[in-house]
Amino acid sequence: MLRRMLRLCVVVLLVLGVGCAKEVEKKPFVVGMLLVGPYNDRGWSQAHYDAGLYLERKLPDAKMLYLDKVNPADRPGLTLPQLVDDLVAKGARLIIANSDDMTDGAREAAKQHPEVTFIHVSGDDVLTGKAPLNLGNIMGRMEYGKMMAGFVAALTTKTGKIGYLGPLINEETRRLAASCYLGAAYGWEKVRKRPLSELKFKVSWIGFWFNIPGVTADPTQVANRFFDSGHDVVVSGIDTTEALVVAMQKRRAGRQVWAIPYDYEGACEGADEVCLGVPYFNWGPAYLQTARAVKDGGWKQAWEWNGPDWKDINNHDTSAVGFLVGPALSRAANEELARFTRGLATGKINLFRGPLFYQDGSIFLKEGETATDQQVWYMKQLLKGMEGASSPK
């Protein structure tokens, strides 16, 4: 009788133990995503949303909770810390804020929730020493992707006039526009063997990352003005696809024009006739590495500026940025792009090497000087040879 009772107790304990283990296994590792635009914008925010889906596939028990349109126009009166409170209440242990505009809110929310890990994308609070210990920064080295975009634009243009559709003006957007110009200048001079003075590169800013009626300039109108004034290639620096849409409209009207979208790998879909390619972010690998570290208790604060995997810049598991060649890019230009990319990978081509001058003629880099990360990150102006404002008016 005693043996039977002992066996029964063991069985009961095992059942209860298994039940408890299953309850632990069922508890998800929740990652909160705060997206500045719509999750399906075919641009910046969708690239982050897709990275959340990647995270769910790759990390057992991971679950993404996202809030999109986190900006003052779409959510007036709501602060980022309020949105974070909701995600934390739903179990979020890692929160990713995906816009430079969220700098202050991410910092404040991180201070209010020291038990939660925060990643602020494109910020530099870790560099400046303003970040609480539970906040890190991640960004991709899109400068390379923009160089490639400028390069193929210069090899394609028939008029020698390239338009750059810019968002708001800050250090990030200046360095990306400048990178595009440097790629264009290299393609124009070194490959096409044309005088740089003949290349026209104009930047027009709309005032935010995407169109907000009554607040920003209308990117559709800006793109139209580019094409109507002889710019036959428009490179987008905003989160959405207006440049590509307008280019398709012009092409259907018989115009020979092209466009290069931004941010999202699938942005060229449906625009084969005009899309030269797309430089895009691949946030999945960095988010996966971060989530694993947080889950395992080994996360450490860092400022990460992640570059391409030069072995394969379009490898979804390893490369932070990529460039997907568009259907409208000629075979000859594609071959030149491959050579250009190899040069960037080996360092034989370094476009951030002096002499380079700011727009006002002051020195950015002296003869033979190679830019440091900080010099590129904190770019003060556009470069000499670029047309457009270097600071908000």
pLDDT in tens, 155-199: 999 999 999 999 999 999 999 999 999 999 999 999 999 999 999
Q: Does 5 reside within a domain? A: no
What pLDDT score was predicted for residue 27? 86
Q: Does 314 reside within a domain? A: no
One domain for residues 231 and 89: no
Query: What is the average per-residue pLDDT within 270-298?
Result: 97
Q: Does 99 reside within a domain? A: yes
What pLDDT score was predicted for residue 25? 52
One domain for residues 170 and 132: no
One domain for residues 113 and 94: yes
Query: What is the average per-residue pLDDT within 321-350?
Result: 98
Type of residue numbered 99: S
Answer for the pair 46, 68: CB distance below 8 angstroms, yes or no. no
**Any idea which of 13-17, 151-155, 265-269 has the lowest mean pLDDT?**
13-17
What pLDDT score was predicted for residue 300? 97
Query: What is the average per-residue pLDDT within 86-90?
Result: 97
| Segments forming the whole domain that contains residue 238 | 142-280+326-387
Q: Does 354 reside within a domain? A: yes
Q: Does 19 reside within a domain? A: no
Count of all residues that appear for the chain in the document: 393
One domain for residues 338 and 368: yes
One domain for residues 76 and 131: yes
Number of domains in the chain: 2
Check whether 15 has a pLDDT greater than 70: no
Check whether 26 has a pLDDT greater than 80: no
Check whether 303 has a pLDDT greater than 90: yes
Mean pLDDT of the chain: 93
Which residue in this structure is represented by tokens 């879909």?
A: 269
Q: Does 22 reside within a domain? A: no
One domain for residues 337 and 351: yes
Query: Measured between alpha carbons, how far is 389 from 393 in angstroms, rounded to an integer?
Result: 8
What pLDDT score was predicted for residue 24? 46
One domain for residues 102 and 113: yes
| CATH code of the domain in which 87 resides | 3.40.50.2300
One domain for residues 161 and 76: no
One domain for residues 234 and 164: yes
One domain for residues 229 and 177: yes
Burial 132-158 (b: 16+ CB within 10 A, else e): bebbbbbbbbbbbbbbbbbbbbbbbbe
List of residues 6+ apart from 146 with CB closer than 8 A: 176, 177, 179, 180, 183, 235, 279
Q: Does 195 reside within a domain? A: yes
Query: Measured between alpha carbons, how far is 277 from 340 in angstroms, rounded to an integer?
Result: 15
| Residues of the chain above pLDDT 90, percent | 90
Check whether 1 has a pLDDT greater than 60: no
One domain for residues 87 and 170: no
One domain for residues 131 and 36: yes
Strands, sheet with 258-260, edge to edge from the N-terminal-most edge strand: 258-260, 233-236, 161-166, 200-205, 386-387
Query: What is the average per-residue pLDDT within 353-375?
Result: 97
Q: Does 242 reside within a domain? A: yes
- The pTM score is 0.91
Check whether 14 has a pLDDT greater than 80: no
Provide the pLDDT confidence category of residue 9 given band limits of 50, 70 and 90.
Answer: very low
